[in-house]
Structure 1
Amino acid sequence: MTDPYDILGVARDANEEQVKAAYRKRAKAAHPDSGGDTDAFARLQKAYELLLDPVRRKVFDDTGYDVELTDAVDLQALVAIEKLITEMVLDEREPGTFDPVAKMRTSLLEDIRKANFSKSELERHSNRIGLHLERLGKRPGKDVVGHMLRARIKAIATAISETEAKIGASERACDMLEGYLYELNELQDEADVAAEIEWDEPQIRSAAQ
């Protein structure tokens, strides 16, 4: 996540005038017409707009994230957590009788496990096609079969990249959930924690493989 305070070089409690002054100072050097980098200037503008918007600034201060400045992996991770939040809100069990954060982590670890398995299967399939290509050789003239096989390998490579992105987003989402401690009812505490540990340990080992 890009920090707008760092981009503008202002303190966390900077007021509107300080933000504007910092922007004017940096914009002169960062502007493309002055030889500045276009992407860097765009980030400067986004940081300036964020800190002048009290609602967006409050959200960033509370969460550390903003849609405009969040990188692709963080954004995918936030979308994954948002989906899990919806499941948490719709869960009819009484608060305190289960740990929703542990449930989120378990769900993410299961997603990682499935994605890793899918990735390995895609790689295995791609390798098999490659071996077919090696044995097929190249047909003189128009190589219809070879073209189609190479197209399959290319499509699988795209699917592998998408799967890797999903794994990265799920791992980042797990990182975002670190540090949360949910208070369970005393009667539920020991049994639920034991159940979560029993479930999470093999999931963690599997996701790491």
Structure 2
Amino acid sequence: MIDPYVLLGIERDADERAIRTAYRKAVKTAHPDRGGDAEQFGKLQAAYDLLKDPVRRKVYDDTGYDPQLADPKDLKGLMMLETLVNDFILDEREPGSFDPVAAMRRKLSDDIVKNRFHILELERHRSRVRKHLDRLGRRPETDVLGSMLRARSQSIAEAIKNAEAQIEAIEQAYQMLEGYSYELEAIEVKAAE
């Protein structure tokens, strides 16, 4: 995602007037009607739209993401991290006595394993349903049982797709934690006297 402040060449504490002035100056040369690049003009417009809306600007300032401009994959990862951040904020242990970043990574890794196991279980169920369908004799006028089994197979396929999407979101959240570390307080060990 582009940084709207950098794109418009303004400081993060710029007021409404400074944002508007910077935008107008930038679009003069970027407007397609004046020989500018349409893609660059679109980026400037998106940056201006984000910064002129106080709610979107606050969300962007707090998270580095804008729901309207961010990649949906990033937003899903961000939502997963939001839950994990809430968990470690509510943890009663003293800050510095445990590593919340490592705990977040462990939780995400555990969730990936759980989802992969769930997919394997679903695939086994779907395989059994298909085998039943293959062996089921059909009645000439209606196929109630066949319809029910096909619907069940489709439901299982959708559940597998949802679990795979969940894994992608978890992996994105995990990737967003790259580069973070957490400083633990040194634990003093008293030597036996």
Give, as a single letter, the amino acid of the residue that structure 1 aligns with 2:125. Answer: H
Instruction: Write the mapping of 1:91-110 to structure 2, written as runs, cut at 5 A.
Output: 91-110=91-110
Instruction: Write the mapping of 1:62-141 to structure 2, written as runs, cut at 5 A.
Output: 63-141=63-141
SS in 1 for 2:187: helix
More helix, by proportion: 1
Deviation of the 1:178 alpha carbon: 0.9
Cα-to-partner distance string for 1:122-174 (whole Å, 9 max, x where unaligned): 11111111111112144322110000000001111111111111101110000
Any unmatched runs of 5+ in structure 2?
A: 12-17, 189-193
Q: Given the two structures, how large is their TM-score scaled by the length of structure 2? A: 0.75
Cα-to-partner distance string for 1:7-49 (whole Å, 9 max, x where unaligned): xx935548623324545755769xxxxxx9xxxx7x8754431
Give, as a single letter, the amino acid of the residue that structure 2 aligns with 1:171. Answer: E
Q: Given the two structures, how large is their TM-score scaled by the length of structure 1? A: 0.70
Distance change in 2, residues 1:27/1:80 (3 Å): farther
Give, as a single letter, the amino acid of the residue that structure 2 aligns with 1:3. Answer: I
SS in 2 for 1:186: coil
Deviation of the 1:70 alpha carbon: 2.2
Distance change in 2, residues 1:46/1:10 (3 Å): closer
Any unmatched runs of 5+ in structure 1?
A: 30-35, 189-209
Distance change in 2, residues 1:75/1:137 (3 Å): farther
Distance change in 2, residues 1:158/1:28 (3 Å): farther
% of aligned pairs identical?
49
Q: Which has the larger radius of gyration?
A: 2
Deviation of the 1:3 alpha carbon: 2.7
Distance change in 2, residues 1:97/1:26 (3 Å): same
RMSD of aligned C-alpha atoms? 3.2
